[in-house]
Chain A
Amino acid sequence: MKIIQVLATVSFGDAVSNDALALQDYLQKMGYTTNIYAENVDLKLPKGLIKKIRDLPVLKEDDVILYHLSTGTELNYQVPKYKGRKILIYHNVTPPEYLGPYNPALARLCQYGLDGARYLAGKVDYCLAVSEFNKQDLMRMGYQGTIDVLPVLIAFEDYKKEPNSKIIRKYKKAGTNVLFTGRIAPNKCQEDVIAAFYCYKKYYDPDARLFLVGSYLGMESYYAKLLAYVKELGLQDVYFTGHVKFDEILAYYHIADLFLCASEHEGFCVPLVEAMYFDVPVIAYDSTAIGSTLGGSGVLMKEKSPALTAGMMNRLYTDADLRAKVIANQKIRLKDFDNDRVKEKFHSYLKTFLKGRNS
């Protein structure tokens, strides 16, 4: 029996790809014959690590396909045709209405992804959702079988690498360093982070800096609007880093005093876990999977008011007790994402599935 993984794209540094690679490693360790097949493979990945979907061998009825769904692709319609038992790993798809005004092609791709997710309802044998929110999403789309929640596997070992010293030297100084990491994208609402930072800088800490770390590729018009917003607000010390190297991301977490997330759509939100890892207290707007990923840690805000958020940022930065409590809670929550725990959970779900009890 083989257990293979199928996904649209495997690229360097992407959360879904990292999850698939970590699962592959674990499946190999468990002694299964396994491979990853994808439509698109990043050239930066070692040759032969990922196979092209066109090389997918004929599968047998007892083989297992782990299909990662996160975007619009023809695979969403092809996978049910393959032989073998199918497990859907649902990472969620960004709602197209956020992307439409800025990138209609990307919005269409996401719509195609959501249509594909709906199409797959009833055509897979079992589902794993990376968050409780994703599980609810699948149920809303008509999935009726067993759906279990399995967080993504995060490569924590990589976070121990050396951070970029230039960035640390440059910004580790007086003034609050506020951080948000993630693609520049309208569903992530970087404008709300900027608005809160504007109030924070104006009323609480004039020396504060805001780092918006993430690529704006494909979202140039949204990025341009954000730049114009910063300019028209007359706001200083807002840094859009664009796509950065891994050691630079590490450096931004090292210098961060607060992690501020205003995102309105997340299927999981790995950066929240990264902030937990680096002991950066999180303030996040309560939407989609954010609450379940924080799991009672961090500071979850029910409303989006720039002044209130700025007040909360000030409280979290200046109130040592509150800060310590938030960081302690985050440390506890972080343990739930421990790779061994997640792998153990995966193993137990897989065992039950193979015995035919949770399909």
Chain B
Amino acid sequence: MPEVIQPIDVEEIMKEIRLEIQEKGLNESMLSFQDVDGGEILKGLRNGEKYDPGEFERLVQQVNLRSNVPWYHRVEGNALANFIKKVIRKLIRFMIIPVVEEQNAFNGSAAQCLNQLLAYVKEQDQKITALERELQALREKED
């Protein structure tokens, strides 16, 4: 016979919890997330005050994935707007394509640069970990 999920009466448990909150006089009011300003912390984050290896690796992954920017973009809107936008796209492509290609060349180099940096950081990390282990072993031997 197939196993069947046993229903749990969540509403009944909630009733009991509500009663418990009332009886214990627990205060439900608290600071709202909307009233918080993260501006100062954000400044610190953007200035790279703290090194985060996981985020660095993910950032490099994103740079690799998004370094090639397509120049072509689909236009949206009604028939007339669509037509006008298509004409504009055609008119400016002689300018846009070289700029995008230039940008993509730069993005490619920047991505390569970051890949090199990440590889170096990882290599150094491994070396440091190995040295720490050695140091620890030597200290234990001394003791």
- Residues on B lying within 8 angstroms of A by beta carbon are 3-8, 10-11, 13-14, 17-18, 20-21, 24, 26, 28, 30-31, 33, 36-42, 45-46, 52, 54-55, 57-59, 61-62, 64-66, 68, 70, 72-74, 76, 115
Contacts and interface: CB of A to CB of B under 8 A. Distances in A.
Interface string A294-308: 011101111001111
Given A74-B70, A233-B30, A296-B7, 9 more contacts: A223-B38, A224-B38, A224-B42, A228-B40, A229-B33, A306-B30, A308-B14, A311-B17, A325-B6
Contact of A42 (B8, B11, B33, B64): B64
Interface of A: 9, 11-12, 40-44, 74, 77, 115, 191, 194-195, 198-199, 203, 215-218, 220-229, 231-233, 241-245, 295-297, 299-302, 305-308, 311-312, 315, 322, 325-326, 328-329, 332-333, 335
Contacts, number: 131
A308 B21 contact: yes
A225 B33 contact: yes
A308 B10 CA distance: 11
Contacts of B17: 308, 311-312, 315
Binding site of B, secondary structure by majority: helix, strand, loop or mixed? helix
Contact of B38 (A9, A40, A226): A226
A322 B12 CA distance: 13
Nearest to A215: B58
Contact of A225 (B38, B55, B76): B38
A232 B45 contact: no
20 contacts: A12-B61, A43-B64, A74-B70, A191-B33, A203-B26, A217-B55, A217-B59, A224-B42, A229-B31, A231-B41, A295-B5, A296-B7, A306-B28, A306-B30, A307-B21, A308-B21, A311-B17, A322-B8, A328-B6, A329-B8
